[in-house]
A and B are shown apart, each in its own frame.
Chain A
């Protein structure tokens, strides 16, 4: 039963990782580049939510109404000021620029706040659970996180497959020049993708803050987890990313049962194993490949 519980908890933890991975997958899928400040931006969202909670007394859930559009605007600014320009310089430039941004953001947060860990208070909902048996219980909040992750990821997949704008995004990804000839403004598509990606980063950041404590430097680990989820699932597949997040989450919680000292290490090792054995990921599909 302990093991079943570990798997169930991992499934739900995986929801959070998938939520983190979603924006990374989307940006890579459309722009073929990786935003190395991804994790730090989600921590910025968590601090933003905390500021609203502290100053207005709102529930963290309510702050999503401001954090999501706020992060979308951050995405627009990031795209217009940094990424558009960097993409024009070389393939390496976006990596270097966003890594610089990552270092600056972490230390800016350290300067504004402190190295102390913070949490977004959600009261009794955070600890409430549905007890199935003595050793197996399902927390309301982790369950909600998994639900939100599924809705967000499947929503994005549906958008890419069905919506006109989604088609435009896929066309731009496949061949920006030809897409441009068909009347698709690639600059607009990139900006839209960045806004959408950062909106999901906002959701991920707030859910991270409600689930566990965070510090200005927490972003790095979540960038790594998000990346592992993407690669395990298969680069370019949104549905795969959801599955990848869950595999990573389960690896960590089951790993904690095997070696309580280092669940993270076991997660990394599972990732490396997948990379060696199935370098194209477990669930490669063609949606964003």
Chain B
């Protein structure tokens, strides 16, 4: 059995860990509220953007000559995967969930004999992926300096993706992120952004739009923006998910630490009691022998 001193030290150490996790939980809760708010505020933009593009692609007359960002290169050889993770750890299964999802997808692509390129956003994802897929990672971006997800960062990633697309470096682009459902549940998502996955909604009214300038020109202007928008949306969802995940992870950690302190305290008291009893017996038996 551990000595009394050791137990005392352990209790103190667990207690201070508990203090840290408790503080982290509260910080995450405050940040979560803000992140969630901005994720919700960001939704109208991406929804409207989607609507406009849907209307446009319905209105486009010449499907053959549609911009490549919409219709694809006609090949499916090279896949680019943008894996978006956080820059900080201690957030439960947040990063591992995305990585797991992404790895499953990578394995599928490689099995089919296709080429794979990876861009990691956030340093945690890079750390986890570089061991296995180090040679496939072509770019690693991290926004450690920016406090909150902002559009300019997303735009940077978006522009880079488009640049690579125009240089013919890949055919299909998929982004991986965690969608925020609630504090306990975040769903890892794989979303294809190039070519745009057209959810064919035939119910969209037959209303015709007037375009100025023509559809093609608007589309070729709009599609790059849409990429950035989608990435921005993913970043917002990610940051809300990260905080949510961290909050519940830290909540669990605090509770576990509490249980541990209770257990250790009982053990401490017992051994103290045992030591006292032992001393008493020694005194009594010593007195008796006289």
Pairing of A with B: no
